[in-house]
A = this chain, B = another copy of it.
Amino acid sequence: MPQDHYADIRGLHLFADMSDEHFAQLFRGAYVQNFPPHIDLIHEGEPSDFLHIVLSGAVDLYSTWNTRETSMATIRPISTFILAATIKDAPYLMSARTIEKSRIALVPSQDVRAIFGVDDAFARAIVSELAQCYRSVIKAQKNLKLRSSLERLANYLLRQQLRAGGGAEFELDFEKRRLATVLGMTPENLSRAFKSLNAYGVVVEGNRIRITDQDDLTRFAKPDPLIDDFST
């Protein structure tokens, strides 16, 4: 693997504390590849041959069943995905495709497992990472089971607003049709949901969102740190 991304990857919490030697060993067999948009990287059910690290671009984790498809998560730089499958040496539960042009590092799963076996700091970092992932999915599930689609959209907007800096105006960071399946609804329904949120001070212009009445929207959305705060 070329040197230019070593520092970025080394800075990830997951790899920060491991020994230099093990880090070098881990990435000896790794390589970096560029992918165009909308390329399938992995498919659910396959054995997990590589741990993936998104260096730039964005990746969509999605799942299918019986003609239906849904988006499970979006991976943005710099972070890894399918760590759990890699560690357990189990088949992928989700498929992955690039959303945009992306640069991705591929680390052979067997190397990850080997280094996991010998590097204690790495093992502990994995615990931390997996606990974080677990809690994120729990929050997503609470979001799904406890809220209507309109409430999910309202809370999504508040989260996205915060991520974008907190200003009254911000951009959606991916297309609405994908946002719809992320939120667990159809594109048509999302369109109507945006319209309904007009009443709470949300103005939509293409991908641009303006929140004209922050309090009103917040009162409706009732955000909850135990669902919406990604950091805890």
A residues at B contact (CB < 8 Å): 44-45, 63-66, 68-70, 72, 83-85, 87-88, 90-91, 93-94, 116-117, 120, 123-124, 126-128, 130-135, 137-142, 144-147, 184, 222, 224, 226-227, 232
- Interchain CA distance A120-B127 in the complex, whole Å: 12
For residue A119, which residue of chain B has the nearest CB? Answer: B120
Shortest CB distance A156–B (Å) = 15
Most buried by B among A91, A127, A227: A127
The residue in chain B whose Cβ has the minimal distance to the Cβ of A145 is: B70
Give the 9 A-B CB pairs with smallest separation, nearest first: A130-B130, A65-B146, A84-B131, A137-B137, A70-B145, A134-B134, A84-B134, A120-B120, A63-B142
Chain B proximity of A153: nearest CB distance (Å): 15
Q: Are A135 and B65 in contact (CB under 8 A)?
A: no
A127 close to B116 (CB less than 8 A): yes
Q: Which of B93, B139, B144 contacts A226 (CB 8 A)?
A: B93
